[in-house]
Structure 1
Amino acid sequence: MSKLQNGTWVVVTDSEKALFLRNLTDHDNPNLDVFDEDEQENPSDREQSANRPGRMNDTGVQQRSAMDDTDWHELQKERFAADLAEKLYDEAHKGSFKHLVIVASPQVLGVLRDEMHKEVADKVVAEVPKTLTNHPVREIEKLVKRELDAA
């Protein structure tokens, strides 16, 4: 079975953007069509923080230490991957795809694997650990085919 059959979904994502592509041909000559795109607004952590980090008293006399503040920017990146996993679950239940290729950075791929429902994981035919969200579609086609041929 070739990995890029007609109708196979290819999701190209990083921690802030996801491209949804559908293969219109076959594995030998892939023709990926972008049919959806998700992007989140994720300002820097400094812009999202409400105030400076808190302080706490230490055991010594008049000693105080700064506490680590929540990294809102990083938290939002993890939420994006979790939201993407949920969207894929909804689409799998609708029968929108039979086969799925995920192209994502290794960190995002790890979060997706943890968050992905079994119904979606069973449809994954390949994972490509690369960040390709800002590449042209023709370049994505070539890179994905090359990666899948090498696997």
Structure 2
Amino acid sequence: MNLRIPHDALVVVCDARKAMFLRNDGDASLPSLKVEQVREAAANPATAEQGADRPGRIQNAVAPTSATEGTDWHELAENQFARDTIAALKLGYRADARRGVVLVAPPRMLAMLRRHLDEELRSSVLAEVDKDLTKHPIHEIERLLMGA
């Protein structure tokens, strides 16, 4: 598959901690991605510092006591960051009436992003690339996306 990113299309490259909003200044055959915005998630300390130290217990009337699953604070933070990223994308997309969106994220984060897309934004998604490219320089992201 040879990914073609139209002129002025948005490319959102993100993971659970960082989101980069890039705009294609070039054309579909030779993209030139420019950074429009970078967002980073708030600090996420260790689970022991965030909540209860032990999962709760449930006393059953007829069966033995059972444990409940503890809250995964990191997963909640990642989900909130995905929600915030899509909210920022909606603002930018609707304000400038861009021509399409490409989502680039690791598979787990891509699933979280998909969950928060509304119908209008979902219909404008040109492609989804399941790679973690947030630590790559922009020219490397361009090269890797053209080969995707």
Q: How would you bin the TM-score normalised by the shorter chain?
A: 0.7 to 0.9
User: 2:113 and 2:13 mapped to 1: Cα distance?
Assistant: 12
Tell me by how many angstroms 1:135 deviates: 1.0
Structure 2 match to 1:44: 46
Structure 2 match to 1:54: 56
Higher relative contact order (CA 8 A, sep 6+): 2
Which deviations, in whole Å up to 9, do the C-alpha atoms of 1:10-66 show, x marking residues without a partner? 100112210111111113222111121111122232232244322344668xx7544
Structure 1 match to 2:80: 79
Please show how residues 91-130 of structure 1 align to structure 2 within 5 Å. Answer: 91-130=92-131
Structure 2 match to 1:32: 33
User: 1:19 and 1:3 mapped to 2: Cα distance?
Assistant: 19
Q: Which runs of 5+ in 2 are unaligned?
A: none
The TM-score normalised by the length of structure 2 is 0.85
In 2, are the aligned partners of 1:89 and 1:119 still within 8 Å (CA)?
no
Which deviations, in whole Å up to 9, do the C-alpha atoms of 1:79-114 show, x marking residues without a partner? 211222222222222234221111011111122222
Specify the SS of the correspondent of 2:147: helix
The TM-score normalised by the length of structure 1 is 0.83
Percent identity for Structure 1 against Structure 2: 40
In 1, are the aligned partners of 2:4 and 2:29 still within 8 Å (CA)?
no
User: 1:47 and 1:19 mapped to 2: Cα distance?
Assistant: 29
CA separation of 1:97 and 1:46: change in aligned 2, threshold 3 A: farther
User: 1:114 and 1:35 mapped to 2: Cα distance?
Assistant: 24
User: 2:46 and 2:36 mapped to 1: Cα distance?
Assistant: 29
